[in-house]
Amino acid sequence: MSETRTAPPVADAPARDPAHPLPLDDPRPAPGRYLRCRTRGPVPVTALFPAALQQRALADLARVPAMLACFVERLGPHPFDGCALVIADDPVRVPASPGVAVLPSDSIDGSGSCDGVLADAIARQWFARGTEGADARDAWLVPALARYATWLWCEAAGDMTTDALAAAEHARLAGRSAGEARDAPEPEGAPADPRAGRGALLLHALRIELGDVRFFELLQACSLLHPTGAGTTDAFRELVGAFAERPVDVLLDAWLVDAGLPPAPERRRRAQRRHRR
């Protein structure tokens, strides 16, 4: 069991209330004895967990406010009027509800090892949507956005940079396609999903292509707060085109259409300084 990690302070995001926040349903866990914990802040948090897990749950949830501050800064205002978390022994029995993140109780151990699962579940509150016209080929989008948000939190917490995480994910996917076992680091507890990994690599490639300012504007445009945002692959491609200064169809096709794994996205090296005379 790893030791509990303390994240370095994350600057509080400015209090930017959504113009039209979505109502948050009261979370309804499966039958049993649950404790309810509420925290105040720019994004109020309501957490429900089995009484037997109180000490471990409170330790693992301690970083949620910093995680939310990181996501608000990078992804835009939280789409709901609060963040709800439910830790359940049987997550399948928890009724699905917008804005409610559900975690399995066996992921909670008090050591912070659930950080990846927790960040992924919370990030989906920005992007998960029931979109008409979405089909199987669109199933990569929300997991990819959530995975990249997990990378952003990992970087903000001082664990690994997004560049390092992208390189590790590419090595993992390359090893999988070659039938090899690749042991590459990843955010603790991050769900194993090849679609999410490949999609997150596309997002990192777009970040390099667009630059940070336009890229994070793109992520915010994908949020639930933007009805015209990306809910399908076609809508996402159209949205990317609106933020790109030059055509990016070749880049998008390489990750979304072509079967092979494109080269790992890498930042261009800065031009060497001219030698002084």
Identify the CA nearest to 31 among candidates 76, 96, 90: 90
Q: What is the pTM of this model?
A: 0.81
**Per-residue pLDDT, 134:** 55
What residue numbers bound the domain in which 167 lies?
Answer: 136-256
Domain boundary among 127, 157, 177: 127
pLDDT in tens, 21-48: 455 555 665 556 788 898 888 899 999 9
Higher pLDDT, 53 or 270: 53
140 lies in the same domain as 252: yes
Where do the H-state alpha helices sit in 98-193?
Answer: 115-127, 141-156, 162-177
Asked if residue 218 belongs to a domain, the reply is yes
pLDDT (average), residues 209-236 = 85
208 lies in the same domain as 241: yes
DSSP codes, 209-237: HH-HHHHHHHHHHTSTT-TTS-SSHHHHH
Instruction: Give the H/E segment covering residue 49.
Output: strand 45-50
Asked if residue 29 belongs to a domain, the reply is no
Q: How far apart are the first and last CA of the chain?
A: 58
**Per-residue pLDDT, 119:** 95
**Per-residue pLDDT, 91:** 84
Domain boundary among 75, 100, 127: 127
Average pLDDT, the chain: 80
Domain boundary among 80, 107, 127: 127
With beta carbons less than 8 A apart as the criterion, state whether 66 and 11 touch: no
How far apart (Å, rounded) are the C-alpha atoms in residues 183 and 190?
14
Question: What total of structural domains would you count in the chain?
Answer: 2
With beta carbons less than 8 A apart as the criterion, state whether 92 and 116 touch: no
Higher pLDDT, 92 or 238: 238
246 lies in the same domain as 212: yes
With beta carbons less than 8 A apart as the criterion, state whether 68 and 122 touch: yes
